Amino acid sequence: NAGVTQTPKFRVLKTGQSMTLLCAQDMNHEYMYWYRQDPGMGLRLIHYSVGEGTTAKGEVPDGYNVSRLKKQNFLLGLESAAPSQTSVYFCASSYVVGTEAFFGQGTRLTVV
Partner 1 sequence: QQQVKQSPQSLIVQKGGISIINCAYENTAFDYFPWYQQFPGKGPALLIAIRPDVSEKKEGRFTISFNKSAKQFSLHIMDSQPGDSATYFCAASGSFGNEKLTFGTGTRLTIIP
The 45-74 site mask, x for binding partner 1 (CB under 8 A), equals: x--x-x-----x-xx---------------
Q: Is 77 in the site for partner 1 (CB under 8 A)?
A: no
**Interior angle at CA 21, CA 89 and CA 72, nearest 5:** 100
Q: Is 1 in the site for partner 1 (CB under 8 A)?
A: no
Which residue number, 10 or 14, has a Cβ lying nearer to partner 1?
10
- CB proximity list for 22: less than 8 A, separation 6 or greater: 6, 7, 73, 75
Number of Cβ atoms within 10 Å of the Cβ of 84: 10
Q: Is 79 in the site for partner 1 (CB under 8 A)?
A: no
| Cβ proximity of 66 and 74 under 8 Å | yes
Q: Is 87 in the site for partner 1 (CB under 8 A)?
A: no
Residues at the interface with partner 1 (CB under 8 A) = 4, 31, 33, 35, 40-45, 48, 50, 56, 58-59, 90, 92, 94, 97-106
